[in-house]
């Protein structure tokens, strides 16, 4: 009887040990609540599962984006997520504007490691920075190609933007200082309604991101930031050092994305998800296969 009980206990211990081991072989990937972040998070997870025995748990579309992902990273609830250099530098670290993209990347990489013990991996290749856009036909007829061109005629135009763009120093207030914008009217719009508003002629200019999938859909012209006001928002994986210590193979796996995604490719993938309502995971899989990464 004692021997039987001992065998049962050994079996239970082996089972529990195996369970603990399998539990350790897991990472949690988060995304912000937007198509681009969904797609990149899927790429990260698919690469990990294709190249290791690590299971991926996704926490997609976290409300508030960085504001809520950052503390979850600090607590260890999340292991990694795709972030932008400009967001990390300005919003998380609360530094002054830096316009040199390489200096920005090196700075955010160094300070994240020192302050949070988070690692910035290699950049994906695209720069999802702020931009300003107009209807192409109207911009061409008015001879507007740059922010400076826009500033000189802004008194006759209406700007549409979300609330926080009017408040952020790297948004409208900074643009006014740099270019002297003086729009006839500034409308506050929900982020999801800006393209509809400019398409219907409710506004003449909107702020957008350079990889927005709807730019081509609405025949918009992205104006040139001729004084390089906006900082770079180059995307890369941010991962906890503790996670890398546990699974050192992740660095090489995730860095397969380094330099692989252009602005145009990201814009096209965003279009597939935002306009054609395709699944972000399917779009990610197709891209990775096309690049020979899956």
Of 222, 246, 267, which one is at a domain's C-terminal end?
222
Structural domain harbouring 216:
130-222
Q: If you ran DSSP here, which 8-state letter would residue 191 be given?
A: G
Nearest CA to 220 among 198, 191, 200, 187? 198
97 in a structural domain: yes
Same domain, 120 and 239: yes
Same domain, 119 and 237: yes
Q: Give the integer Cα–Cα distance in Å for 59 and 161.
A: 28
Q: What is the pLDDT of residues 180-231, one digit of tens each?
A: 999 999 999 987 799 999 999 999 999 998 899 888 889 999 999 999 898 8
> Which helix H or strand E contains 145, and what residues bound it?
none
> Which helix H or strand E contains 207, and what residues bound it?
strand 205-209
Same domain, 176 and 259: no
Q: If you ran DSSP here, which 8-state letter would residue 218 be given?
A: T
Same domain, 212 and 264: no
- pLDDT higher than 80, residue 165: yes
- Identify the pLDDT of residue 5: 56
Q: Is the dihedral of CA 284, 68, 264, 273 positive or negative?
A: positive
Q: What is the pLDDT of residues 51-73, one digit of tens each?
A: 999 999 999 999 999 999 999 99
Same domain, 154 and 69: no
CATH number for the domain including 246? 3.40.190.10
Same domain, 35 and 123: yes
Same domain, 105 and 142: no
86 in a structural domain: yes
171 in a structural domain: yes
* Residue 110 neighbours by CB under 8 Å, 6+ apart: none
Nearest CA to 230 among 149, 168, 180? 168
CATH number for the domain including 157? 3.40.190.120
- Using DSSP's 3-state secondary structure scheme, residue 64 falls into coil
Per the CB < 8 A criterion, the answer to whether 104 and 232 are in contact is: yes
Same domain, 135 and 123: no
Of 168, 193, 222, which one is at a domain's C-terminal end?
222
Report if pTM > 0.85. no
Same domain, 165 and 204: yes
Same domain, 138 and 253: no
Number of domains present in the structure of the chain: 2
Same domain, 52 and 105: yes
Which residues, listed in sequence order, are joined to residue 220 by a DSSP beta bridge? 135
* Tokens (6 digits) for 138: 């109207």
């Amino acid at each position: 009887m004692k021997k039987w009980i001992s065998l049962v206990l050994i079996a239970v211990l082996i089972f529990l040990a195996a369970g603990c081991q399998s539990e350790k072989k897991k990472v949690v990937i988060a995304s912000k609540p937007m198509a681009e972040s969904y797609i990149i998070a899927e790429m990260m997870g698919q690469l990990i599962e294709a190249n290791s025995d690590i299971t991926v748990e996704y926490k997609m579309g976290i409300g508030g984006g960085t504001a809520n992902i950052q503390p979850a990273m600090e607590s260890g609830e999340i292991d990694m997520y795709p972030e932008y250099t400009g967001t990390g530098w300005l919003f998380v670290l609360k530094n002054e504007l830096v316009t040199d993209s390489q200096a920005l990347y090196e700075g955010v990489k160094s300070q994240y490691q020192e302050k949070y013990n988070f690692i910035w991996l290699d950049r994906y290749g695209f720069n999802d920075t702020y931009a300003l856009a107009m209807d192409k036909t109207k911009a061409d007829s008015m001879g507007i190609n740059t922010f400076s061109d826009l500033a000189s005629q802004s008194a006759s135009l209406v700007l549409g933007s979300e609330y926080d763009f009017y408040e952020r120093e790297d948004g409208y207030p900074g643009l006014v200082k740099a270019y002297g914008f003086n729009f006839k009217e500034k409308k506050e719009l929900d982020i999801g309604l800006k393209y509809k508003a400019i398409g219907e002629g409710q506004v003449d200019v909107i702020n957008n991101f350079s990889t927005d999938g709807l730019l081509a859909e609405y025949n918009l012209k992205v104006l040139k930031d001729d004084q390089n006001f906006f900082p770079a928002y180059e995307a890369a994986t941010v991962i906890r050092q503790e996670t890398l210590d546990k699974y050192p193979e992740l660095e090489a796996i995730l860095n397969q994305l380094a330099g692989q995604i252009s602005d145009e490719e990201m814009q096209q993938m965003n279009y597939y998800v935002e306009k054609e309502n395709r699944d972000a995971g399917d779009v990610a899989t197709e891209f990775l296969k096309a690049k020979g990464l899956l």
